[in-house]
Amino acid sequence: MNIVVMRLAYRALLGSRRSWVLIGLALLLFAVAGLIRWGSGGSLGASAGVIVNFGFGILVPIMCLLVGTGVIAPEIEDGSIVYVLAKPLPRRTIVFSKLAVAIPVALVFSVASIVVAAQIAGDKDGQLAAAMGVSAALASIAYTSVFFMIAILTRNSIIVGLIYALLWEGVLAGYVPGVRTLSIRQWALAPAEEMLKGNPVWNVSSDVGLIAGIVLLVITTTAAIWISVQRLKSLSVRVSD
């Protein structure tokens, strides 16, 4: 880890409008959860529906998109990344330093939003909040790593990330059977299903088993970090030329 790189990433992320957008997304989820609570009278099924489909399925990926791209995309766009790359630092140190800032921030916003929203919409002994909090944490690590990779691979990271988050993870992974097994959303839902399976009222399910989901999340996260390191090496060569 490098403290200077981490400090720059922190300032770029939380010192910009992205932080206000993240707060706005959390407040939006709380408002929707409150409306569901008011409209359904605290129905546990309705609560699970809004948390899984809207909070976990849409807002968590978008939050991670903002965080994952926010720690490096602006530097690539304005060319200031050359100053970081010019330092005698291994490229993996730069990647790990930035992710050391991005992942905790993503965890704080996504997990806290899901847990609080579950309490607002309707919960029973904290079961939904705990289960979906675990799934949100696992998904956030994978999503943030993937979006960080996308930010290094393309200058249109926000557009590409939104297409992936909303179309693939939000729509196809939620409703198309063939795609469901190939999404971070379904993999991360496996622990929640395991934690809530004793109470069918929650109706939280995944198309993959617990072990398979965890293994696929680890593979995806590891692959995204490895690709980021390799791409950053080639980027440094191109910039220096």
* Predicted confidence band of residue 131 (pLDDT cuts 50, 70, 90): very high
Whole-number pLDDT of residue 171? 76
Contact criterion met (CB below 8 Å) for 75 and 90:
no
Instruction: Specify burial of residue 74 (Cβ count, 10 A radius: 0-12, 13-18, 19+).
Output: middle
H helices, E strands: number in the chain: 13, 0
Q: Does residue 239 carry a pLDDT above 60?
A: no
Q: Which residue has the tokens 């249109």?
A: 156
pTM of the model as a whole: 0.90
Positive or negative CA dihedral for 182, 185, 146, 70?
Answer: positive
Residue 82's identity, in one-letter code, is V
What residue ranges do the domains of the chain occupy?
Answer: 3-240
What is the mean predicted confidence (pLDDT) over 14-23?
82
> Which amino acid, 201?
V
- Output phi, psi for 81, to 5 deg: -60, -25
Given a cut of 80, whether residue 12 has pLDDT beyond it is: no
C-beta of residue 114 within 8 angstroms of C-beta of residue 26: no
Q: Inform me whether the pLDDT recorded for 232 exceeds 70.
A: yes
Contacts of 117 (CB under 8 A, 6+ apart): 29, 30, 32, 33, 50, 51, 55
- Encode pLDDT of 193-220 as tens digits: 999 886 767 788 888 899 999 999 999 9
Contacts of 89 (CB under 8 A, 6+ apart): 2, 5
Task: Report, as an integer, the average pLDDT of 127-149.
Answer: 95
